[in-house]
Chain A
């Protein structure tokens, strides 16, 4: 018994010292080799596109181009778990998404939001209530009045049960005391398609995801669930202006595993800041209808903590968690 304890203490000591030595050695010359970014979603999706645009722009600020690795599955659970478990040496970073503050409360993953250390937020998209252009509702007030008068008659499409846009609709129902029929689709695009076909009454996906159809005059955005009006949609009122204190957004940003040494974090923060403010990256995002929303680590941490609490409460209320 005693000897086993001794061995384990010794092993721990060796491992710890290797880590410390390793981090000192690497911090001085960091980054000296390729940095790998783990993307928890499949190639071609929104998160993947942001990452690839970021990696493309980061080339100028790093000695070697970043490698983008997609680890998909479980609505982000597989990739986010992978980021938490990755070696904390600064060469393994991840594209964190709002799901890192949501999945822990669904009881499906072993990590917590605190297991990630934020480096910088790159992009954020609020939820918006959009309806078919042929529908009778011109404003949010008309829409919610109809919904209240006919409980359950308004069918709201979302991108999957437990996903961010579903929770946005649930939160709205909760705040306003309305009853909707929530229809989950396999992602935001199929939900928007169903809206265009008139099979559902509304969607709660981001303005960017319906922007094309708004320009084509097929879809109308009634309100956006953000704190302030957002660029590109300045004439659309926020939900707060209608007196509902609700702002829900999805976000994407660079995160690292918790044990990543601080000096390495600082180096990364600098590099990411330069890249995020690079004109090439900004225009790439704009072209993809994505909103540039840079936040440095401390403010990003606040967003994460706030969302963590918010989703915990909401999911408990809805009975989604376990």
Chain B
């Protein structure tokens, strides 16, 4: 209850500072714009803004950075839904069903659902941060290499659930992704693997590959499509879902918000993992599993709620322990220290008033996100009405520029194009691109943590079954992996021909 009254005080203090509110609005707007552009991430926005915050008061500075962070994660979903171009890795999970819904002429309601889910997921995670921070703080420290490895294996097992169309082809795509993920400096020995002597390949060029696989290959495909084939996609429909539709989504949104906050609080795991895990769980709990991947609103709601749910989660260990979980929170930690605030167990006690003002401001940021989202959707959604002759070339140019902007590297453009061409050919033969992206996210995490755990245990494999969190996560992974196979095997005698066609075609 004391926390609650502190929050009320925070809200009151916040509304005494119109400048803080203004900077929050500015931050969210900028973040959404950055998220929409492929290749540009919230991290980049935060880094660019940081020098401007040097001379600012703590509250507006932190709120502007938070705004960019929240907006950036949300913005990635807009192009994922409308054009199958995930602006951020987390939005790759949103694109799975979001783009299918757009093709069915339901772009409006999908974007509306995504906006509402982002808002609710984000708000819940901030509330969890405010009221449960001390309880959850130490949990982040329990995650050592063994637990992170198990989490990555769980993430990888989701490949099975997102390749419902053809399991074998999905697994092959995942295997290709895993192999690509080993390109670059070996995480333990520092040996350059498969780099062919290119310095640029010393780390996996993850974002260029993602932009190529999704955006460029989609654009290449659409060059040959006739306008008529896309006409159904230009329907917009209503934006805010009806109550009866939305009611069915609430359990998914709440569950995903919780999952997102939880995963976000683990250092080293972020919105990308959270959105895929939430998608997987939404499918697990759903009655019509078959519809996932073909245009299921639940999938979009889960991915969006979880990725924004991550924001509060990631802030939690940063504020309570001084541990930044990702690049954005690392910069925010810097910003806090810059303002003379010492993140850690004493932060809440020593600077309670200021901290709760910032919390109130973060809730305000999400309100702004909701307002900006809903107000602009009518306009944004018209992107799909732009004539294809203009839209597709613009997308391809943005792919090139966005890829270049990540590292200011022309080399990355070559990677993006290669991935685009490979993605185009694979999609023509029904190989899904999302398992590759998932494997690229999880593969390096699985390998480095497995080997790190091995070194931490002096070479013993005990960590696989002696640590409770590891055992639980690995069991869930096994379940996720085996259930669809079990189902397929059981249904096989009934529809031998159909199953064969599905897996072979």
Do A and B touch, yes or no (CB under 8 Å, in the complex)? yes
* B203 neighbours in A (Cβ, 8 Å): 72-74
* B345 neighbours in A (Cβ, 8 Å): 216
Say whether B408 faces chain A, with CB atoms less than 8 Å apart: yes
Say whether B435 faces chain A, with CB atoms less than 8 Å apart: no
A288 close to B338 (CB less than 8 A): yes
Say whether B199 faces chain A, with CB atoms less than 8 Å apart: yes
CB proximity of B168 to chain A, nearest CB, Å? 33
Contact of A74 among B185, B342, B456, B458 (CB under 8 A): B185
B331 close to A44 (CB less than 8 A): yes
B344 close to A197 (CB less than 8 A): no
* A49 neighbours in B (Cβ, 8 Å): 50, 334
- Provide the bound-state CA to CA distance between A52 and B51, in Å: 7
CB proximity of A135 to chain B, nearest CB, Å? 15
- Provide the bound-state CA to CA distance between A288 and B455, in Å: 33
Residue-wise interface mask of A (154-170) relative to B, using a CB-CB cutoff of 8 A (1 in contact, 0 not): 01000011100000000
A288 close to B452 (CB less than 8 A): no
- Provide the bound-state CA to CA distance between A49 and B51, in Å: 8
A287 close to B51 (CB less than 8 A): no
B407 close to A70 (CB less than 8 A): yes
Given A42-B327, A52-B51, A184-B188, the answer on whether A73 and B202 have CB atoms closer than 8 Å is yes
* A288 neighbours in B (Cβ, 8 Å): 334, 337-338
Say whether A284 faces chain B, with CB atoms less than 8 Å apart: yes
Say whether A152 faces chain B, with CB atoms less than 8 Å apart: yes
A75 close to B202 (CB less than 8 A): yes
Given A44-B331, A71-B407, A189-B324, the answer on whether A199 and B190 have CB atoms closer than 8 Å is no
Contact of B452 among A52, A184, A215, A218 (CB under 8 A): A184
Contact residues on A (Cβ < 8 Å of other chain), bracket: 35 or more
Given A108-B192, A183-B456, A216-B344, the answer on whether A196 and B187 have CB atoms closer than 8 Å is no
Contact of A44 among B327, B337, B409, B455 (CB under 8 A): B327
A106 close to B190 (CB less than 8 A): yes
Given A56-B54, A69-B408, A284-B54, the answer on whether A78 and B200 have CB atoms closer than 8 Å is yes
Contact of B342 among A52, A73, A200, A212 (CB under 8 A): A212
Chain A interface: which of B136-144, B156-164, B249-257, B273-281? B136-144
B199 close to A44 (CB less than 8 A): no
Q: Select from chain A the residue with minimum beta-carbon distance to B323.
A: A193
Given A77-B202, A212-B344, the answer on whether A161 and B190 have CB atoms closer than 8 Å is yes
The number of residue pairs between A and B whose CB atoms lie closer than 8 Å in the complex comes to 142
* B189 neighbours in A (Cβ, 8 Å): 161
* B186 neighbours in A (Cβ, 8 Å): 161
- Provide the bound-state CA to CA distance between A321 and B190, in Å: 11
* B407 neighbours in A (Cβ, 8 Å): 70-73, 78
- Provide the bound-state CA to CA distance between A55 and B340, in Å: 22
CB proximity of A247 to chain B, nearest CB, Å? 24
Residue-wise interface mask of B (46-86) relative to A, using a CB-CB cutoff of 8 A (1 in contact, 0 not): 11101100100000000000000000000000000000000
Contact of B267 among A162, A193, A284 (CB under 8 A): A193
Say whether A147 faces chain B, with CB atoms less than 8 Å apart: no
Residue-wise interface mask of A (187-212) relative to B, using a CB-CB cutoff of 8 A (1 in contact, 0 not): 00110111011111000000000001
Contact of A71 among B43, B143, B408 (CB under 8 A): B408
* B267 neighbours in A (Cβ, 8 Å): 189-190, 193
B43 close to A43 (CB less than 8 A): yes
Say whether A250 faces chain B, with CB atoms less than 8 Å apart: no
* A53 neighbours in B (Cβ, 8 Å): 51, 54
B337 close to A197 (CB less than 8 A): no
Contact of B187 among A70, A71, A184, A218 (CB under 8 A): A184
| Number of chain B residues whose Cβ lies closer than 8 Å to a Cβ of chain A | 54
- Provide the bound-state CA to CA distance between A280 and B54, in Å: 9
* A78 neighbours in B (Cβ, 8 Å): 199-200, 202, 407, 409
B448 close to A186 (CB less than 8 A): yes
CB proximity of B141 to chain A, nearest CB, Å? 4
- Provide the bound-state CA to CA distance between A181 and B395, in Å: 50
A43 close to B190 (CB less than 8 A): no
Say whether B346 faces chain A, with CB atoms less than 8 Å apart: yes
B408 close to A70 (CB less than 8 A): yes
Say whether B422 faces chain A, with CB atoms less than 8 Å apart: no
Contact of A52 among B47, B330, B340, B409 (CB under 8 A): B47
* A74 neighbours in B (Cβ, 8 Å): 185, 192, 199-200, 202-203
* B452 neighbours in A (Cβ, 8 Å): 183-185
- Provide the bound-state CA to CA distance between A215 and B334, in Å: 15
- Provide the bound-state CA to CA distance between A106 and B199, in Å: 13
Say whether A26 faces chain B, with CB atoms less than 8 Å apart: no
Residue-wise interface mask of B (182-219) relative to A, using a CB-CB cutoff of 8 A (1 in contact, 0 not): 00011111101000000110110000000000000000
CB proximity of A82 to chain B, nearest CB, Å? 9
Within 8 A of A (CB), among B117-165: 140-145
* A200 neighbours in B (Cβ, 8 Å): 456
Say whether B322 faces chain A, with CB atoms less than 8 Å apart: yes
Say whether A109 faces chain B, with CB atoms less than 8 Å apart: yes
* B144 neighbours in A (Cβ, 8 Å): 194, 197, 199
Say whether A289 faces chain B, with CB atoms less than 8 Å apart: yes
* A289 neighbours in B (Cβ, 8 Å): 337
Say whether B343 faces chain A, with CB atoms less than 8 Å apart: yes
* B340 neighbours in A (Cβ, 8 Å): 287
Within 8 A of A (CB), among B87-140: 140
Residue-wise interface mask of A (38-73) relative to B, using a CB-CB cutoff of 8 A (1 in contact, 0 not): 000011110011001101100000000000011111
- Provide the bound-state CA to CA distance between A184 and B192, in Å: 15
Contact of B268 among A190, A213, A320 (CB under 8 A): A190
- Provide the bound-state CA to CA distance between A173 and B230, in Å: 66
* B51 neighbours in A (Cβ, 8 Å): 52-53, 55-56
* A185 neighbours in B (Cβ, 8 Å): 452
Q: Select from chain B the residue with minimum beta-carbon distance to A110.
A: B199
Q: Select from chain B the residue with minimum beta-carbon distance to A219.
A: B322
CB proximity of A203 to chain B, nearest CB, Å? 13
- Provide the bound-state CA to CA distance between A212 and B340, in Å: 11
Contact of A109 among B199, B338, B456 (CB under 8 A): B199
A/B interface sample: 24 pairs, CB < 8 A:
A43-B44, A70-B408, A71-B409, A72-B203, A73-B199, A73-B407, A74-B199, A78-B202, A78-B407, A78-B409, A155-B455, A183-B456, A186-B187, A189-B323, A189-B324, A190-B267, A192-B323, A196-B321, A197-B141, A212-B322, A212-B342, A216-B342, A216-B344, A284-B54
3 tightest A-B CB contacts, nearest first: A74-B202, A43-B47, A197-B141
| Chain B residues packing against A (C-beta within 8 Å) | 43-44, 46-48, 50-51, 54, 140-145, 185-190, 192, 199-200, 202-203, 267-268, 321-324, 327-328, 330-331, 333-334, 337-340, 342-346, 407-409, 448, 452, 455-456, 458
| Chain A residues packing against B (C-beta within 8 Å) | 42-45, 48-49, 52-53, 55-56, 69-75, 77-78, 81, 106, 108-109, 152, 155, 160-162, 181, 183-186, 189-190, 192-194, 196-200, 212-213, 215-216, 218, 280, 284, 287-289, 320
